[in-house]
Structure 1
Amino acid sequence: MGCEAVIAMTSIERIRPAAVAGAFYPDNPRILRRMIAEQLDYARGLLTPEVLARLPEGAPKAVIVPHAGYVYSGTTAALAYALLERGRGTIRRAVIVGPTHRVAVRGVAMSRATAFATPLGVAPVDVAGEARAFGFRPRTTRADAPDDILLGGYADFLRLPDDTYATSDSTAPALLLNEPTHAREHAVEVQIPFLQTVLGDDIDIVPLNAGSATPDEVGDALRAFWGGPETVVVISSDLSHYHPNAYARALDDETIARIAALDLPIHPNRACGAYPVNGLLDVCRNGLHTSDDGRTSNARERFMLRFLGCCTSGDGGEAALADDLTRPGVSEGVIHATRPAMVDRDEAVVGYASFAMWERNVDDDDGADDDDAVDDIDAVDDIDDIDDIDDGHVVDDGADRSAVLLGIARTAIRRYLGIDDAGDTMAATVDRLSARHPWLREPGACFVTLTEGGRLRGCIGTLEAYRPLGRDVAGHAVDAASRDPRFMPVTAAEYPLLGVEVSVLSRPEPMRAASRDELEAELRPHVDGLIIEDSHTGRRATFLPQVWDELPRPDDFVGHLLAKAGLPSGLTWTGGRIRCSRYTATAYREET
């Protein structure tokens, strides 16, 4: 059951209505879609292949975007959203953090809404994720408590009164529940139609309003929701307000330079979303998992924050790209943009800028070399009996790979559940293991499936490789145990009952089928995994090859996959409406 169905059926449903539709952006869905499409096309026209070659590949992990009326700041915001479009089908949750323009709070405020409405539809709120970050412990669900069942035990969380702060053992103690600050606030709302357009209308959100708070307090809130490739962080902020145009540009250039340099703190008189911005800069400077002194040595290497472009409300929607994106030979780190000529130097304007941040794979360990890594291989308990080195040659048979991958998955889950009290990070353990198994360092995409008593208990993965296979398995093992929205997180008591399967995927290949009949004829049962994407709605879904065991007929296989994507199971098509790709998967299962 998807998030939309869960929310629609609960009696404590709270849909926060659009507050600024018709003011900051059109309230007519058709006009709104056309405006966003035009602004994205404008941004794509600026982001030429030569420009994109100067940016990292893949979707950004976080963006900083303005939140004014679309006619003023939409094209500048579209620079970031055009890049974020790369994550469609992978990104399923957006953590949106804006400032508090109307109702002040101390801390980072969550709403008690179950969804936010826009003219483009309803965006479900990740209530379970909010409750977990808050430190809320759900009561046991009961048959006579339908709200608890439908909300995964978190119905009582939504009933907490305003100004209730996170529990003392929360990783983000500045989080609080406060409905009034969300009621009329526009900073989060204006981002949702862009997200619904570029990532799909079934995207989940976590709406946060950051009031008076220190950079590390907002940073801790971001760390609590950071997640993996399924999550993007959207920081909503404008720059200077109502200064003469010439002076505003100078102020904004200085602020842009400080943000790009991670120069904390940005003052609210330079950016209305200074508190959210400072939280992201805190993550960029101090990392996701702080050590005793509050810092990690590799944070600046892990995160790459890039300035994309800017404008003011006096520029008529004309965005200026960052100079280091437009000028060949200009070194990275240049923070200026060649702006258009000013129509009126003395016009009072508001400034806007967009940034994108990519998360890179770097070593998270203490710098131990490979020789030390080999000596410490027994950190992976489930595979400590493997002897795969013979006179310097690595033995890589299938049985060996199965033990290694399943061992990584189980070790990652045990670490997450606190069953293992290891003195090392899981990333460091995987890197040490990679010294003996170089194939773990190669980019790989996988799904990790958990079962309990033969029934599905969690399944999460990615379709395309973006990090080393060893780290991908470890990350998705934890995701399957803790982030599958269909299930409560796995508990330590359940661990002995879990079955683990790791499926390593080949690179998806487009299929030429122009109709449903052609697709079903081309499919290879029990061999092909299938990805379908509807070009009309952007809906996307996949079935692993293992699903053929339950749906052996191609028409059933395709029909159920269409339904999974939110499309009619009997849908037929000709031409290019439904785009299809197939892949194969090598499944590594535990012996029963």
Structure 2
Amino acid sequence: MNKYRKSAVAGMFYPDSCNDIKHYIAHFDKEMPALKLDVRPRALIVPHAGYIYSGYTANLAYHYTASKRPDIERVVVLGPSHRIYIAGASIALFEAYHTPCGEIKIDLEYSHALQKKFAFLDFHPMAHEEHSTEVQMPFIRHYFKHASVVEIVYGDITHGELSTLVDTLLLDEKTLVVISTDLSHFYTEEEANKLDTLCINAISHLDLHALSHGCEACGLTGVKAMVQSALSHHLKAHFLDYRTSFARTGDDSRVVGYTSFVLG
């Protein structure tokens, strides 16, 4: 088996050049507003589209978290499988994660321990050619240079099951949990704004019931798992940004929605 989780979507969802990635992040940082927050982030909810569409929204969460949490030692990324069917979830049992800006160490010992603890965790190498998790890695490499990562791609699993895993992750204060999701897909801008507002309000109020009634998101299972765990761990959700692909394309007929939150 290959020892490395090779980049599968570099050059498509984000640049395959480290200099170009740094240029994107510098541009996003320059456009950042002054965030009136004072929270110690334990988890993030961030989008996973191409950087030209959702990179700004994701970067807000990473930039803010890095400014508050220089002590982060491990980042665990959970994203939905878009390519293949998975019963349960797959955890990456590679040694390192390749990015255009260098390798990130995978915490293999911790990954094996999680696999042993949770029956729904297996390792399907093909599942890790997944963009929902991969697009987060250049941000992690940039903002948390000394942190290791764990990649979990989930499929056919309940949010309750996934929440038991998130609960375990949150026991370690120096672990950052990243939940990857986009919001509604391919509605008009007006329709998307209505649907996405339901999701954003539900997350803001940690309202599991509301998330199940009208919210559309490809990573909804992960979001619901995070909300359930946030309630158990007395975390609050802090909204950062919302936009759709319309902001980039100018086409309001078929848009995709993106949001970011920090939880702490």
What TM-score does the superposition give when structure 2 sets the normalisation length? 0.93
Counterpart of 1:543? none
Q: Select 1:260's aligned residue among 204, 209, 219.
A: 204
User: Which digits, 9 at most, give the CA deviation of each residue in 1:1-28, with x for residues without a partner?
Assistant: xxxxxxxxxxx76101111110101111
2: CA distance, partners of 1:240 / 1:284: 23
Q: Select 2:23's aligned residue among 5, 14, 34.
A: 34
**1:66-215 aligned within 5 A:** 66-87=47-68, 89-135=70-116, 170=117, 172-182=118-128, 184-200=129-145, 202-215=146-159
Cα pair 1:112 1:178 within 8 Å, conserved:
no
**1:540-555 aligned within 5 A:** none
2: CA distance, partners of 1:64 / 1:348: 23
Task: Tell whether 2:165 aligns with 1:240.
Answer: no
Which segments of 5 or more consecutive residues in structure 2 lack a partner in the other structure?
Answer: none
Counterpart of 1:271? 217
2: CA distance, partners of 1:355 / 1:56: 13
Amino acid at match of 1:275: T
User: Which digits, 9 at most, give the CA deviation of each residue in 1:117-155, with x for residues without a partner?
Assistant: 0101111111100111222xxxxxxxxxxxxxxxxxxxx
2: CA distance, partners of 1:25 / 1:133: 29
Amino acid at match of 2:239: F
Cα pair 2:91 2:152 within 8 Å, conserved:
yes
RMSD: 1.9
Amino acid at match of 2:12: A
Amino acid at match of 1:187: S
2: CA distance, partners of 1:57 / 1:111: 30
User: Which digits, 9 at most, give the CA deviation of each residue in 1:26-52, with x for residues without a partner?
Assistant: 111111111112112322xx1x2xx42
> 1:235 offset after TM fit, Å?
0.5
1: CA distance, partners of 2:99 / 2:251: 35
Amino acid at match of 1:309: D
* SS of corresponding position for 2:110: helix
Counterpart of 1:284? 230
What TM-score does the superposition give when structure 1 sets the normalisation length? 0.43
2: CA distance, partners of 1:175 / 1:29: 32
Cα pair 2:46 2:261 within 8 Å, conserved:
yes
1: CA distance, partners of 2:39 / 2:81: 33
**1:5-44 aligned within 5 A:** 14-43=3-32
> 1:89 offset after TM fit, Å?
3.5
* SS of corresponding position for 2:246: coil
Amino acid at match of 2:188: P
2: CA distance, partners of 1:215 / 1:100: 14
After superposing the two structures, state which structure 1 stretch, 71-80 or 172-181, moved more: 172-181
Runs ≥4 residues deviating over 3 A: 265-269
Cα pair 2:192 2:257 within 8 Å, conserved:
yes
**1:308-323 aligned within 5 A:** 308-316=240-248
Q: 1:98 to 1:314 in 2, by over 3 A?
A: same
> 1:112 offset after TM fit, Å?
2.4
Cα pair 1:85 1:198 within 8 Å, conserved:
yes
Cα pair 2:44 2:179 within 8 Å, conserved:
yes
Q: What is the total number of aligned residue pairs between the two structures?
A: 262
Alignment identity in percent?
34
Task: Tell whether 2:252 aligns with 1:304.
Answer: no
Task: Tell whether 2:233 aligns with 1:357.
Answer: no
Structure whose alpha-carbon radius of gyration is higher: 1
Which segments of 5 or more consecutive residues in structure 1 lack a partner in the other structure?
Answer: 1-11, 136-169, 288-298, 318-342, 359-592
